[in-house]
Amino acid sequence: MSVTSDLMELRESEIVKHYPAANALLDGFDHTPRIAAGTQPAVAERSAGLGTRRRFRTTTPGLVTRSTARAEGVHLLDRIAASDDDDPLVSPAQASVMHGLRRGLAIALAMGEAFSEATGLADLKRANLQGSLGADRKAEFTALLEAEALALGHVFANACAYLLASQASEVSVEIGEVQEVLTDNAQLALHGALWELDQKLTLHASDDARLIATVLAFAEQFMERVSLRAQNAGRLGAFASANWRVEADDLTIRGFTPASKAKGTTLTMQFKKPNEVVGNHIAKYQAMRLAKMLMAYDFERRLNPFAELGGFIFTFMGDGAPGTGKTTLIQMMAGMVNEYCQVAGYPFRYQNFGIDNIDSYQGKSGQNAKAFINNVLDPSVIGFGTIDDIDQIAGKRGDRQSSAGQQEVTAVFMEAFAGANTVVRGNCTFGMFSNYPENVDDALRQRAGARFLVDGPQTREDYIDILALLMGKKHDIPLGDHELYAAQQIKKAVAASFESHNRPKEIGLLEVYDRVSSDIGALDTIAKMGTYLKAIQEADPRFTGRAIKNITDAVKVRAMDFELPDEWMEQPELFLFKPYDEKAAMIEELRRPITVEMVIQEINRYADSEFRYADKSDEVAIDAMVRDFGRQEEAKRRYLEGKG
**Phi, psi dihedrals of residue 426, rounded to the nearest 5°:** 90, 15
CB 311, CB 305: distance < 8 Å: no
Per-residue confidence at 44, pLDDT binned at 50, 70, 90?
Answer: very low
Please tell me the distance from the alpha carbon of residue 608 to that of residue 83, in angstroms, as a whole number.
61
Report which of 356, 363, 362 is spatially closest to residue 387, judged by C-alpha positions. 356
Q: Do the Cβ atoms of 256 and 154 come closer than 8 Å?
A: yes
Q: What is the mean pLDDT of residues 73-80?
A: 91
Average pLDDT of the residues in 553-578: 85
The predicted-structure confidence for 511-549, as pLDDT tens digits, reads as follows 999 999 999 999 999 999 999 999 999 998 878 888 888
pLDDT at residue 15 greater than cutoff 70: yes
Which tens digit of pLDDT belongs to each residue from 437-459?
878 888 888 888 887 777 777 77
SS3 of 387, please? Answer: strand
Buried b (16+ CB within 10 A) or exposed e, 219-238: bbbbbbbbeebbeebebbeb
Orientation of helix 19-27 relative to helix 186-204, angle to 10°:
50
Those residues with Cβ within 8 angstroms of residue 152's Cβ, 6 or more apart along the chain or in another chain: 108, 109, 111, 112, 115, 186, 189, 190
pLDDT in tens, 545-557: 888 888 888 888 7
The stretch 611-636 carries a mean pLDDT of: 73
pLDDT at 402 (0 to 100): 81
pLDDT tens column, 20-37: 999 999 999 999 888 877
> Once rounded to an integer, what is the mean pLDDT over residues 401-412?
87
Task: Tell me the CA distances in angstroms from 572 to 150, 252, 350, 428, 591, one per residue in order.
Answer: 43, 26, 21, 19, 21
Report the candidate in 212, 15, 204 with the shortest Cα–Cα distance to residue 95.
212
CB 276 within 8 A of CB 469: yes
3-class DSSP assignment, residue 348 = strand
The alpha carbon of 437 is separated from its chain's Cα centroid by a whole number of angstroms, namely: 21
Distances (CA, A) of 186 to 190, 340, 504: 6, 46, 63
Give the pLDDT confidence score for residue 234 in this predicted structure: 86
Instruction: Output the pLDDT for position 629.
Output: 82
What average pLDDT score do residues 113-123 get?
92
Averaged pLDDT for residues 84-104: 88
Give the pLDDT band (50/70/90) at residue 425: very high
Q: What is the mean pLDDT of residues 330-340?
A: 90
As a whole number of angstroms, the distance between CA 178 and CA 319 comes to: 41
Confidence of residue 429 (pLDDT cuts 50, 70, 90): very high
Q: Is domain 274-620 given the CATH code 3.40.50.300 in the classification?
A: yes
- Residue type (1 letter), 58: T
Burial 455-485 (b: 16+ CB within 10 A, else e): bbbeeebbebbbebeeeeeeeeeeeeeeeee
Average per-residue pLDDT for the chain: 83
| Domain positions in the chain | 8-38+64-254, 274-620
Say if residues 174 and 184 touch (Cβ distance below 8 Å).
no
**Which range, of 222-226, 247-251, 554-558, 580-584, averages the lowest pLDDT?**
554-558
pLDDT at res. 619: 60
Residue 42 has a pLDDT of: 41
Task: Return d(Cα 24, Cα 194) in angstroms, integer.
Answer: 12
Residue 46 scores a pLDDT above 70: no
Distance CA 98, CA 289 (A): 47
Q: Using CA atoms, how far apart are residues 275 and 270, in angstroms rounded to an integer?
A: 15
**Amino acid letter, residue 499:** E
- Res 121: pLDDT: 92
List the Cα angle 223/372/179 in 5-degree steps: 25
Burial category of 118 from C-beta neighbours within 10 Å (exposed 0-12, middle 13-18, buried 19 and up): middle
What pLDDT does 264 receive? Answer: 55
What is the pLDDT confidence band of residue 275, given thresholds at 50, 70 and 90? Answer: low
Global pTM? 0.58
Q: pLDDT (tens digit, 9 = 90+) per residue, 155-194? A: 999 999 999 988 887 788 888 889 999 999 999 999 999 9
Burial-class residue 294 by CB neighbours within 10 Å (0-12, 13-18, 19+): buried
Q: What pLDDT was estimated at residue 53?
A: 43
Segment 251-276 shows an average pLDDT of 71
Q: State the pLDDT at residue 49.
A: 41
pLDDT grade for 4, boundaries at 50, 70 and 90 = very low
Residue 73 Cα distances to 149, 203, 467, 622, 626, angstroms? 21, 17, 73, 66, 68
| pLDDT higher than threshold 90 for residue 97 | yes
